[in-house]
Amino acid sequence: MRRPVLAALILATGMGTAAAAEGDAPAQGGTGGVLLHGTVTVEGAWPKVGIYLEVDTGAGPKPLVRVAKDGSFSYRHPLQPGTEVTLTPYNSTALNTPEPTFLTGHMRTRVKPDDKVEVHLTARRILTREISVLDQSGKPAANIGIGVEAAIPLGPEPGAPAWKNYVSFRTDGEGKLPFKYVEIEGGSYDLTVNTVDSGGDKYLGEASLSGRQLMNKDEPLSLEVQRLPVWLEVQFRWDPDRGNLPFRPDVGSAIEAHRVWASGATGRKDAVLSPEGLARFYGLKPGNYTIELSDLGRRLYSISGGSEKVTIPKDAKLPVRHTVTLLPAGKTSVAGKVIDRATGKPVAGATVAAEGEGTIETGPDGAFKFEGVSGANLKLRVHHANYCGFEGTYPLASGKDDAFNLDVRLAPLPTLRVLAADRDSGKGVPGCNVFARGELIDAKAVTAEDGSCLLRLPEGRYQLLVRRPGTPAEGDAAGARSASKAMVYAGETAVPKDGGELRIELPAVVAVRAAVNGLGPRGQGRGPGFCLVRPKDNLIMAGVPLDVQGEGVAYVGAGTYRLVVIAEEERSGADGGEVQALAPMTGPVKIEVRQWRKLTLTGDARMLLGDPIQDEQPPGK
């Protein structure tokens, strides 16, 4: 925890993960919203990874709610009473891991204040069937990947929600596919094969299987795929005049420039160069062929040797191999202007960056020019403090006479005035870091003495985060940095076309000191720590290391949190219970670790605690 995992948790609560911050949305046991709580019953065995319910309101994110071992759960819903909510089991690891259990069942309800509900789930087994995968001649399709779109209904009635996910499997050396499925007749599995084996042969195929077919063990299952052998392999290399430089085309950034053609007896077949400069052609027949570069490719390269002509003889041993050598092609002059989209006037002081060509600042006429641009595409980035940033890629093949002209039109940014005020006094809070995160742009600002700041943002919806400066707790010599950037607000706002104003009320910064005992061998590795997690959606608010005495201080906005103790090496955690962060806090929160649990950290900064770890006795035993 003082190292990779804790560092990742601390970073996860920063600008990169807006939803993970503490905000005005009430936590479990707090005020506001609707408390949805109840019990979960399971017919069959509980999954080893524990149970989480996914809360779907039909719009926005789908929070996860942890179900306790006794089947109870609670969730403070931020929406209004009467909102229709669907609760479904979160089968996050199904078919992708050794987890043997899949949960079905769901419940729809309109939430009411303090509504108590019962969710009935059924545990279904995850089984494996062996499927023979053969090519059109009956030979095994060995060691190829197969993608599967799985759709498993969570209830028997029409309109029931379904679990949908993409998984991939692979055949073994004998073409046998160990196919995982859920023991339910209503499921469907769409298989797609579009892959190349280690020898270069391509495999294509599609099939659909139902749960009923998979459960019928008396019916052997097989999948026929079409194998297309490689007829022609063309290796592109730099001309010997360029020395021994390896040819490594940047296929990802300019894929159309690296498409090549073989024209001849079977018409025109295309292929895309690999990163090693290899083009493979399928579905040809004996005859003469001409190798051609695409229009964009000719702006990058010219064929210098190794003839563009190639012949595939009758009864040839496949694949026929051919080599073509290249030289860099000519260069282009690119000129243009940066223009205000609203007024049509030139924009002075805009920074225009051309990838691989440098940076230019526009003058009063808004003009820019790049000489001697090489390549098939030009990637431009344009930035100005008062305008929405621009990024675009231009195919230079459409230019004439080795010159290319373009204009870039920038949209002026609306202004959002944010006032950060103290929740208790109503006074503005200076020195807060305000972040806005949108689909196209991020922005940040620091509040002035009156608690206000200006954000220039395009029209649209944004996540807002506010970090409020606080005072380090007494005796916390290392806490100055943590106290100065405590996350106290996270929410959403809409920026209208003409800008606007937003007032945000901030809770006080509270120092939460924890003293942890009973860490045991799992907590004696590279440094344990603890996190404060928002109960309603398991989002990480703060994460800090523990010192050698097992103590640490985290800074958060006043509110309710769940404290989780983390052990670094095994990705395990211990539930420290609910903590009320209210100023001033007297003394440390004392935690006795009695059971380590499996810990899962999700990409959106959620922390999920699973089943107890059974390979050790609880500390003190």
pLDDT in tens, 355-412: 877 899 999 999 999 887 766 677 899 999 888 888 888 876 544 445 678 899 998 8
Residue with the bigger pLDDT between 303 and 177: it is: 177
Q: Give the pLDDT mean for 296-305.
A: 78
Q: For residue 217, what is the domain's CATH number?
A: 2.60.40.1120
Q: Are residues 218 and 138 in the same domain?
A: yes
Among 141-145, 171-175, 570-574, where is mean pLDDT lowest? 570-574
Residue 481 confidence (pLDDT): 64
pLDDT in tens, 427-482: 999 999 999 988 777 889 999 999 999 998 888 889 888 999 888 877 665 555 66
Q: Are residues 104 and 163 in the same domain?
A: no
Residue type, 256: E
Residue 363 phi/psi, 5° resolution?
-90, -165
Residue 389 confidence (pLDDT): 83
pLDDT(418) > 50: yes
C-alpha distance from residue 338 to each of 357, 391, 402, 413, 489 (Å): 18, 12, 21, 15, 38
Residue with the bigger pLDDT between 399 and 108: it is: 108
Side-chain half-sphere CA neighbours of 255 within 13 A: 5
307 in any annotated domain:
no
Q: Are residues 491 and 529 in the same domain?
A: no
Among 168-182, 413-427, 431-445, where is mean pLDDT lowest? 431-445
Identify the band that residue 193 occupies on the pLDDT scale cut at 50, 70 and 90: very high
311 in any annotated domain:
no
20 in any annotated domain:
no
Least Cα distance to 511 among 478, 466, 476, 537 occurs for 476
DSSP string, 220-262: --EEE-EEE-EEEEEEEEE-GGGTT------TTT-GGGGEEEE
- Is the Cα dihedral 518, 524, 529, 534 positive or negative? negative
Beta-bridge partner residues of 125: 101
Residue 546 confidence (pLDDT): 86
Residue 400 confidence (pLDDT): 47
Residue 190 confidence (pLDDT): 96
> Could you tell me the residue range of the domain that residue 211 belongs to?
127-228
Which of 163, 193, 228 is at the close of a domain? Answer: 228
Residue 505 confidence (pLDDT): 94
pLDDT(120) > 70: yes
pLDDT(241) > 90: no
Residue 447 confidence (pLDDT): 96
Residue 258 confidence (pLDDT): 86
CB 73 within 8 A of CB 79: no
Residue with the bigger pLDDT between 197 and 7: it is: 197
3-state helix, strand and coil shares in percent for the chain, rounded to the nearest 5: 5, 50, 40
Element (H, E) at 341: none
Identify the band that residue 215 occupies on the pLDDT scale cut at 50, 70 and 90: very high
Q: Give the pLDDT mean for 97-120.
A: 87
Residues 6+ apart with CB under 8 A from 282: 202, 228, 229, 230, 231, 269
pLDDT(123) > 90: yes
Q: Are residues 29 and 107 in the same domain?
A: yes
Residue with the bigger pLDDT between 30 and 196: it is: 196
Q: Are residues 514 and 598 in the same domain?
A: yes
pLDDT in tens, 553-571: 999 999 999 999 988 655 7
Give the whole-angstrom CA distance, residue 492 versus residue 19. 9
Residues 6+ apart with CB under 8 A from 323: 234, 235, 236, 237, 306
Q: For residue 572, what is the domain's CATH number?
A: 2.60.40.10
Residue 106 phi/psi, 5° resolution?
-165, 170
- Is the Cα dihedral 113, 114, 116, 119 positive or negative? positive
Residue 617 confidence (pLDDT): 47
Residue 544 confidence (pLDDT): 87
Q: Are residues 497 and 513 in the same domain?
A: no
Q: Give the pLDDT mean for 578-585.
A: 85
Q: Are residues 66 and 109 in the same domain?
A: yes
- The residue behind tokens 């309603």 is 536
Q: Are residues 110 and 137 in the same domain?
A: no
Q: Are residues 93 and 178 in the same domain?
A: no
473 in any annotated domain:
yes
pLDDT in tens, 475-527: 665 555 666 688 888 888 888 888 889 999 999 999 999 999 887 654 444 45
Which of 182, 204, 228 is at the close of a domain? Answer: 228
Q: Are residues 514 and 471 in the same domain?
A: no
Residue 34 confidence (pLDDT): 72
Q: For residue 36, what is the domain's CATH number?
A: 2.60.40.4130
DSSP string, 159-178: T--EEEEEEEEE--TTSEEE
Which of 170, 196, 228 is at the close of a domain? Answer: 228
- Assigned token pair, 603: 């990409």
Give the whole-angstrom CA distance, residue 585 versus residue 457. 39
Residue 10 confidence (pLDDT): 41
Q: Are residues 98 and 149 in the same domain?
A: no
165 in any annotated domain:
yes
Portion of the chain with pLDDT greater than 70, in percent:
86
Most confident among 216-220, 236-240, 450-454 (mean pLDDT): 450-454
Q: Give the pLDDT mean for 194-200.
A: 89
pLDDT in tens, 49-103: 788 999 988 877 788 888 988 899 988 766 677 888 899 998 877 887 788 899 9
pLDDT(112) > 50: yes
Number of domains into which the chain is organized = 4
End-to-end alpha carbon distance in the chain: 25
pLDDT in tens, 326-346: 887 767 788 999 999 889 999
Among 24-38, 193-207, 434-448, 586-600, where is mean pLDDT lowest? 24-38
- Assigned token pair, 277: 């400069």
Least Cα distance to 576 among 528, 520, 527, 516 occurs for 516
Q: Is the full-model pTM beyond 0.75? A: no
CB 77 within 8 A of CB 117: no
Q: Are residues 132 and 191 in the same domain?
A: yes
What order of strands is seen across the sheet that includes strand 403-410?
Answer: 367-373, 332-340, 403-410
Most confident among 299-303, 312-316, 402-406 (mean pLDDT): 312-316
Residue 620 confidence (pLDDT): 38
Averaged pLDDT of the chain: 83
236 in any annotated domain:
no
4 in any annotated domain:
no
84 in any annotated domain:
yes
